[in-house]
Structure 1
Amino acid sequence: MRSDHETPALLLGLIGDGIGESLSPTLYENEAAQHGILCLYQRIDLGVLGLGPAQLPELLTAAERFGFAGLNITHPCKQAVIPHLHALSAEARAIGAVNTVVLRNGQRIGHNTDHYGFLQNLREHLGQDHTPRRVVQLGAGGAGVAVADAILRLGASQLSLFDPASERASLLAHALQARFPQAEVKAGGNLARAMHEADGLINATPIGMRKHPGTPLPPDLLEARHWFAEIIYFPLETELLHAARQKGCKTIDGLGMVVHQAARAFELFTDGIQADAQRMANHVAQVLTRHGVIMHTD
């Protein structure tokens, strides 16, 4: 039992594969310090540990026993974690993916803050009044389901989903079409034709991360009239994002999304303490600048 003069503490973590460059530790630890909270944030890298999603039950149990207040969940566990939780927020249930797990009173509660983070990032870059029209999205996995939901909530009239696992894209398209009957949601087809018709492109795949180098589509399908949103933020400039800048596209990197989703998750982990997203963004920019990362302001 702590005394009235003892600094409150918060133990958090991130479960995922290839997360060695994640900015989550500095994001949460610095913001917690601004509120007088001592935060320790641990990366739980499945690749480093030689583990996979099958070990999620053991990892969740260990986190509970060690007193973690919560966990962030990333690729490839955002959907795999759901069967091991006691409850889901309404948003996480509708989206079908979890990126935030609050551990409290013996309960594991799943939330999705990716949806909120992507919405805020897109609005900041394209404008609060911008309504996307025809959008191509690459990736229908854990992050992709939240991003697709967000873009349709913004009013997209057409969403074309592409994923290496074509059945996954078809299932997501069917579910979204039922929830958003005013839009046309389809899976697969001719990617070149879809890009010719689209005004925007979203990469919601892990392709572009250092562990998954390359581009998820041929860069020559991009045209200067397209806007391009990336959800990867390490590296901050993926190969496809660089190609899009060279083409003259309006580009949106993944940093804003991670900051806004983290700010919302911080509030959940602390049972209501509101994070300052702008302060978090400024802190991350300073960290990246110290490491020689060029910050673009498209």
Structure 2
Amino acid sequence: MDGGQTRFAGVMGWPVEHSKSPRLHRFWLEQLKVDGAYIPLPVSPGRLPEAIAGLPLLGFRGVNLTIPHKELVIPLCDKIDETARRIGAVNTVVVEDGVLHGTNTDAFGFIENLRQNSSWTAPAGAVVLLGAGGAARAIAVALSDNGVQDLRIVNRTRERVQSLIQSTGLKNASFVPWNERDQALDGAALVVNATSLGMQGSPNLDLNLAALPK
């Protein structure tokens, strides 16, 4: 261990059991011999304000946010950086001297993982993005900033997609109704599921992949 005071961090969500963050962070804490603990924190939306406010009092260095807290946490932070402000979602809150700093690493993490683990490139064709929540906002920005010219955002409500497009300044994105999700795959080079469907404890994602290029 590094000999310092134990550092506490965690991931907040509702549910949170699906998150692999505790396992990943514990691995690196052990590898780097950091005196720390990374804890899953199941917090319902109604309890989020008091949970976030309690972080400094409990000695937490910060938390990650997962479904459904990435947008809800914004007004609870003392400061928001430009990345999180543009995306309109926060996935990381850092506590410094009692001040809650909100940022977003989802966009960077998504695009870097895509680059390292696939042969995908923006000119390959259209991208279909399922969902318009906090994670989807970050992914949409990452794809747009990396040259995607046809981003089809599939969601149940048009208003939520329009809000995403307008607030993030996307130029090449369009709304597709949820009941047309199968048709949206026609000619797509990449499909991204940013909904809770298919997660542990959630219903399966009903999607016919037949329209994808062979």
The two structures share one fold, judged by TM-score above 0.5 = yes
Deviating more after overlay: 80-89 vs 31-40? 31-40
Instruction: Show the counterpart of 1:123.
Output: 115
Instruction: Show the counterpart of 1:28.
Output: 25
Instruction: Show the counterpart of 2:84.
Output: 92
For 1:57 and 1:223, how far apart are their aligned partners in 2? 42
**Pairwise CA RMSD of aligned residues?**
2.0
Instruction: Show the counterpart of 2:192.
Output: 202
TM-aligned CA deviation for residue 188 of structure 1: 1.9
Instruction: Show the counterpart of 2:176.
Output: 188
CA contact (8 A) 2:182 2:211 kept: no
For 1:127 and 1:192, how far apart are their aligned partners in 2? 23
Kindly provide the amino acid, as one letter, of the partner of residue 201 in structure 1.
Answer: V
Q: How does 1:43-54 map to 2 (within 5 A)?
A: 43-46=40-43, 52-54=44-46
TM-aligned CA deviation for residue 222 of structure 1: 4.6
For 2:122 and 2:163, how far apart are their aligned partners in 1? 28
Is 1:145 paired with 2:133?
Answer: no
| Matching residue within 66, 71, 81 for 1:79 | 71
Show structure 2 runs of 5+ residues with no match.
none
Instruction: Show the counterpart of 1:65.
Output: 57
TM-aligned CA deviation for residue 61 of structure 1: 2.1
Kindly provide the amino acid, as one letter, of the partner of residue 212 in structure 2.
Answer: E
**C-alpha deviations, 1:214-235, integer Å up to 9, x for none?**
11x422445353xxxxxxxxxx
Is 1:134 paired with 2:123?
Answer: no
Is 1:223 paired with 2:207?
Answer: no
- Percent identical across equivalent pairs? 31
User: Normalised by the size of structure 2, how large is the TM-score?
Assistant: 0.89
Cα distance change of structure 1 residues 130 and 174 upon mapping to structure 2, 3 Å threshold: closer
Instruction: Show the counterpart of 1:213.
Output: 203
* SS of corresponding position for 2:10: strand
User: Normalised by the size of structure 1, how large is the TM-score?
Assistant: 0.65
Instruction: Show the counterpart of 2:37.
Output: 40
For 1:122 and 1:148, how far apart are their aligned partners in 2? 13
Number of aligned residue pairs: 211
TM-aligned CA deviation for residue 154 of structure 1: 1.6
Q: How does 1:137-176 map to 2 (within 5 A)?
A: 137-176=129-168
TM-aligned CA deviation for residue 92 of structure 1: 0.6
For 1:43 and 1:192, how far apart are their aligned partners in 2? 35
